[in-house]
Amino acid sequence: MSLFISQAHAAAEGAPQGGLLGMVPMLLMFAAIFYFMIYRPQAKRVKEHKSLMSSMGNGDEVLTTGGLVGKITKISAENEYIVIALNSNNNVTIKKDYVTAVLPKGTMQSL
């Protein structure tokens, strides 16, 4: 009977607990993964999109997130809206944020 009791004491002692000091390297590793795989690429995309919006000018041909291709006819600086001419009869007013790309000159003619 005493044989079983000593085994129970040995099982209860077990391995020592790591505590907070063992957790710190793992948290640092997760922070590094978060930074390099999530935050940094997103910040790079935002920076590129802001430079794209600031470089737009009248006469540029643009592609919107909705798939519209047109030529910028008017840029409103105070409220961040632009007017895009889809053809000679249709004009669309959209926010600058919805421009995906500035296309090379003559792209509308080749479509």
Mean of all residue pLDDT scores within the chain: 85
Is a pLDDT exceeding 80 seen at residue 4?
no
Please tell me the predicted confidence (pLDDT) of residue 1: 53
Q: What is the CA radius of gyration of the chain?
A: 30
Q: Are 59 and 71 in contact (CB under 8 A)?
A: yes
The pLDDT of 1-13, averaged and rounded, is 54
* Sequence-distant (≥ 6) Cβ neighbours of residue 67 within 8 angstroms: none
